[in-house]
Amino acid sequence: MPKEYPIINIFTSQLPKELAVRMYNEFQDRMKTVMWQVQNVERYKFLNDHIKLVEDILALSIFHRRVVASLDGALTFFRTVTQMSGATGISIGKYEFTAEEKNKLLSLTISYRQLLKKFLITQDMFEFQDTREFMRILLRLKQLWENAETNE
């Protein structure tokens, strides 16, 4: 059986060190709070059976804020520049941000949003500051799915 790596390691492998370290540290810090809440707060104890899921959603949220949001910003700027002028791309130092590169980023962001949508997760779910807020969002997510399944 292949070795299973923590999800945050998969997200951060091959990222530039500075970015990877920030993402990794944020994940570890928030997971400490999550685990404390799961062990000590009655309404979150059900998450004991879903730690892997919590890790996945937390890692996705960090990826969203630290990577996807910036890529969205680059795409918006690309759109402004190309719509306002006949520019074919953006030169950033030696890097050429061309229509082809733009399409790669667009493909990434579309696939990412499809992934979220499949599990009924919306981006605003990731707009939390405090980890306890993240816990409340998980709770609501659980209740929402329970309601949906009850109505099936």
Partner 1 sequence: MPKPMNENNGDKAAGKSFRSPFKDAAVMDNEIISFINKYKATVTEHGKRMSDYFEMSCFNLIVKYYVNSGYEVQIANLKQGKFRYKCSPAGIQSNFSHFEASITYGAMTYYFEIHHNLPVQSSHDETIVATPDISVIKKGAVKYRNDYYDTKKTLSYVENPNMLTFCEVKHFAPFPELIFNFMGVVNELRGEILDNSEENLWPKHIAPSLMISGKSTKPTDNIKASLEGRYVINILFDLFYSGRSAFWKSGVSSLQTAGWLDLPDDWMVNIPEGIDDDPF
Contacts to partner 1 from residues 21-80, by CB under 8 A: 50, 52-53, 56-57, 59-60, 65-67, 69-74, 76-77, 80
Among 33, 35, 81, 131, binds partner 1 (CB under 8 A): 81
Residue 149 lies near partner 1 (rule: CB under 8 A): yes
CB-wise, 34 or 60, nearer to partner 1? Answer: 60
Shortest gap between Cβ of 35 and partner 1 (angstroms)? 17
CB-wise, 39 or 70, nearer to partner 1? Answer: 70
Shortest gap between Cβ of 83 and partner 1 (angstroms)? 10
CA distance 97 to 67: 17
Closest alpha carbon to 77 in 91, 65, 67: 91
Shortest gap between Cβ of 82 and partner 1 (angstroms)? 8
Site residue total, partner 1 (CB under 8 A):
72
- Can you give the chain as a three-state secondary structure string? CCCCCCHHHHHHCCCCHHHHHHHHHHHHHHHHHHHHHHHHCHHHHHHHHHHHHHHHHHHHHHHHHHHHHHHHHHHHHHHHHHHHCCCCEEEECCEEEEHHHHHHHHHHHHHHHHHHHHCCCCHHHHCCCCHHHHHHHHHHHHHHHHHHHHCC
Q: Are 121 and 141 in contact (CB under 8 A)?
A: yes
Shortest gap between Cβ of 103 and partner 1 (angstroms)? 10
Among 2, 3, 16, 40, binds partner 1 (CB under 8 A): 16
x-or-dash pattern for partner 1, window 89-128, by CB under 8 A?
xxxxx-xx-------xx-xx--xx--x-xxxxxx-xx-xx
